């Protein structure tokens, strides 16, 4: 289990440096000429401190991490990101401490609230909120 202080720190880091994508758009597939609605659900943090993102990736246990393309002469950046159900999992972990990114994170939680999440466990948002308020 991840320490509550670590989750609070990650939420603050995410509020300051992160981004949340939650949108639907029409996308054409290579094998088909017709466009279909596609969801983009993603959490991302980009920064110059690689060690912090390595720690974040290890603590959360989801997502990918690697270098980000930058213009010549700029300081090297690193990016951690996750999408879809992994993003849902992270939102559930950090939403009690989130402020700036909370409205979009809430949309991700509501999008998946009646669906299965990691390891075939079903998460009930109301039960989760009750559990978190008791600790």
Beta-carbon contacts of residue 93 (< 8 Å; ≥ 6 apart) = 2, 7, 10, 60
Confidence at residue 37, expressed as pLDDT on a 0 to 100 scale: 84
Average pLDDT, the chain: 86
**Position 115 confidence tier, pLDDT thresholds 50, 70, 90:** low
Supply the pTM of this predicted model. 0.78
Please tell me the distance from the alpha carbon of residue 57 to that of residue 81, in angstroms, as a whole number.
9
Top-confidence residue, 115 or 45: 45
Confidence at residue 117, expressed as pLDDT on a 0 to 100 scale: 47
**Position 94 confidence tier, pLDDT thresholds 50, 70, 90:** very high
Q: Which structural domains are found in the chain, ordered by start?
A: 4-134 (3.10.28.10)
DSSP structural state of residue 31? T
Top-confidence residue, 30 or 135: 30
Cβ pair 87, 108 in contact under 8 A: yes
């Amino acid at each position: 289990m991840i320490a509550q202080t670590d989750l609070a720190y990650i939420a603050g880091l995410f509020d300051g440096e992160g981004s949340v994508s939650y949108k639907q758009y029409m996308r054409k597939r290579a094998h088909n000429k017709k466009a279909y609605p596609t969801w983009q659900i993603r959490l991302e943090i980009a920064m110059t401190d690689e060690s912090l993102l390595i720690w974040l990736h290890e603590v959360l246990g989801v997502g990918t991490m690697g270098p980000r393309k930058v213009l010549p002469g700029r300081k090297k950046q690193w990016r951690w990101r996750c999408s879809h159900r992994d993003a849902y999992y992270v939102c559930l972990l950090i939403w009690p401490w989130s402020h700036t990114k909370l409205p979009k994170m809430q949309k991700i939680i509501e999008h998946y609230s009646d669906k299965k999440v990691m390891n075939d466990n079903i998460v009930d948002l109301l039960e989760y909120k009750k559990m978190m308020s008791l600790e």
